[in-house]
Chain A
Amino acid sequence: EAQVTQNPRYLITVTGKKLTVTCSQNMNHEYMSWYRQDPGLGLRQIYYSMNVEVTDKGDVPEGYKVSRKEKRNFPLILESPSPNQTSLYFCASSLLGQGASKLFFGSGTQLSVL
């Protein structure tokens, strides 16, 4: 089954404790992206990647890191989480660049930073 797998689904942590949210897709998509969703603000892009070893900042990259060492994986790293990073996070992938492209989303990760 074609899918984007995100883990964990829920995460509660404390300020300053490094964490990683994993994202993996099995569709051989070149494009992967991370979004955060906050009430009234919609989906805001954090980072995106066009292919292996190619990443770029989205609209709200501060406080986040990503890596794309393999085509299928695109982890999101919070080196020193802060309470303002409490949010719902989505990973997505697509065949961007090949016509009108459909984003496939993971199930989301609800992060709470205390």
Chain B
Amino acid sequence: QKEVEQNSGPLSVPEGAIASLNCTYSDRGSQSFFWYRQYSGKSPELIMFIYSNGDKEDGRFTAQLNKASQYVSLLIRDSQPSDSATYLCAALYSSASKIIFGSGTRLSIRP
């Protein structure tokens, strides 16, 4: 069973601090990884994807991938109240053309 695991939270971070969200995956066959943000009552939207070991930066967001440890993370710098949402980690298994989602981490940025 291919699985993507996330801590459900809530994770509470003060405004302006760095929020760190983590995700582990069970199958080494996964090739690409995604972070989606979902506001309450809305559909998920992609904020980052990564498929190579190391860091990938986009504005205030940094995705990190460690394939040896089967670990993906998302760092949000200078956290804003608008970053309060549920963050879904997802893994693409190309062999089966499946995208598996974790259950999501609820992030709350406190002023």
Contacts and interface: CB of A to CB of B under 8 A. Distances in A.
Interface of B: 6, 8, 32, 34, 36, 42-46, 49-51, 88, 90, 92, 94, 97-104
Interface of A: 31, 33, 35, 40-45, 48, 50, 56, 58-59, 90, 96-97, 100-103, 105-108
Given A45-B99, A103-B99, 14 more contacts: A40-B103, A42-B101, A42-B102, A42-B104, A43-B44, A43-B88, A48-B97, A58-B98, A59-B100, A96-B99, A100-B32, A100-B92, A105-B44, A108-B43
B100 to A, nearest CB: 8
Contact of A107 (B34, B43, B92, B103): B43
Please classify the interface of chain B as helix (H, G, I), strand (E, B), loop, or mixed, using the class held by over half of its residues. Answer: strand
A90 B43 CA distance: 8
A35 B98 CA distance: 12
B8 A40 contact: yes
A46 B44 CA distance: 17
